[in-house]
Structure 1
Amino acid sequence: MTIHREGYQSIGIGALLFGIINIVSFNFLSAAMPWLAVAIFIVTLFVFLFLISFFRIPNRKLTINDNQIICPADGKVVVIEEITDVEYFNDKRVQVSIFMSPANVHVNRNPINGVVKYSQYHKGKYLVAWHPKSSTENERHSVVLENAKGTILVKQIAGALAKRICNYLKVGTEVKQCNEMGFIKFGSRVDVLLPLGTTINVQLNQVVQGGVTVLATF
């Protein structure tokens, strides 16, 4: 396991606060109320360890296959439905949405090999990530990837707790399947818009792993 570079600053700030809070706590509370000092230490340690865990990148054997579309994120499948896309395709697509809780790994990965045809950040609201309107009204970043098999749109969506979407892809760049495409901080959702006729390999409420689970097949 390694720590994602997006977490260095947050973990550094967390370590500083952890140290300051507990130095003050033990200096002023340990003599009169030792139980309270211990309780503060345990709570702050838990929060700090959770912060480190949020930015983890676990060691995994990634799935590489040109005929398959790999899950771009860890989480649970919350939507599989046919929709009309009005952002890029302007036609009907199959949308598969993955909800990422704060406990999930938050690295986002390229579902396919291909060329970046579109990359656009949208300001927006911070509705809870499972809200139906979060796909179109929340802060989000959309990327379209194209190869000989087809064209898909991947949408990183901020949730109620997420305040920053990081996306590393630029139009015209050739990307590799399962390489990092971005990161979302503190709870979020990822939508994948697939061509009609694509075989879906996941089910509603299925727990999936980014870079590992096969989402669909061309």
Structure 2
Amino acid sequence: MVAKGSLPWIGGALLFTAVMAYISTLSGGLVSYFFLFLFIIGAVLTLFFFVFFRDPERKPPGDEDDAVSPADGRVISIKNGTISIFMNIHNVHVNRAPLAGTITHIDYKPGGYIPAFNKDSQVNERNHVVINTEHGILELTQIAGILTRRIVSYISEGSYVKRGERIGMIRFGSRADVIIPQGYEFTAKPGDKVKAGETIIAMRKEKIRA
């Protein structure tokens, strides 16, 4: 399965590859080698887009009140009630809701494209999503990275999302920050590798200490 909105990218790469292959068969000499080279580039791009835009099915583990990761990647920091997850180019870039709830606020802001792991990435393009869950307010911020040129949202204000449901994606390298509701405690640690919708990153405090 591929991510929503990815077909123009994949289709364009496939079309380019097919056209270059056809032209190379009609040409001769150095011209033929030139179009063969373009065909190889097109084939590599097509494979890259298929891998990058992959969107595997995920089934959230644990109980409904266990918060799951919104993104594939690595935990780069946990401080002040916020966990930051860095998505590398090879990760799945479809983001998911950590907890079920109603989307009460979406605030998209355009910006720059500083590497997402850099502290100066606060000026980057971002999409701030507020989810009113059964256990309190959860905030998720999608932050664009150096290669990213668009944050794609699948949700709207007032809509209800299930835990682990797809809420959008960030193209070509990025970061996701989550502020958990009061009464929750992080179970993930800096350096952990996590998967969107599959890795539990936080649980209710009384559950952890039971």
Instruction: Give the TM-score band, short-chain normalised.
Output: 0.7 to 0.9
Equivalent residue number for residue 44 of structure 2: 46
Equivalent residue number for residue 118 of structure 1: 105
By how many angstroms is 1:96 displaced?
Answer: 0.6
Equivalent residue number for residue 57 of structure 1: 55
2:61 counterpart SS class: coil
Equivalent residue number for residue 90 of structure 2: 103
Gaps of 5+ in 1: 83-93
Equivalent residue number for residue 175 of structure 1: 161
1:6 counterpart SS class: coil
Question: TM-score w.r.t. structure 2 length?
Answer: 0.87
- Per-residue CA distance 1:111-143 (angstroms, 9 max, x = gap): 101111211111111111111122x31101111
- 1:64/1:178 contact within 8 Å kept: no
By how many angstroms is 1:19 displaced?
Answer: 1.8
CA 1:33/1:124 → structure 2, altered by over 3 Å: closer, same or farther? Answer: closer
The CA distance in 2 between the partners of 1:13 and 1:32, in whole Å, is 26
- Per-residue CA distance 1:22-49 (angstroms, 9 max, x = gap): 33344436x5598877665444322211
The CA distance in 2 between the partners of 1:165 and 1:33, in whole Å, is 39
- When the two structures are aligned, how many residues end up with a matched partner? 204
The partner residue of 2:77 within 70, 76, 79 is 79
1:3 counterpart SS class: coil
1:115 counterpart SS class: strand
Equivalent residue number for residue 149 of structure 1: 135
The CA distance in 2 between the partners of 1:119 and 1:189, in whole Å, is 17
Equivalent residue number for residue 131 of structure 1: 118
The CA distance in 2 between the partners of 1:20 and 1:122, in whole Å, is 38
By how many angstroms is 1:154 displaced?
Answer: 0.3
By how many angstroms is 1:60 displaced?
Answer: 3.3
Aligned identity (percent) is 33
1:96 counterpart SS class: strand
When structure 1 is superposed on structure 2, of 158-167 and 64-73 the one drifting more is 64-73
The CA distance in 1 between the partners of 2:145 and 2:31, in whole Å, is 39
Equivalent residue number for residue 196 of structure 2: 210
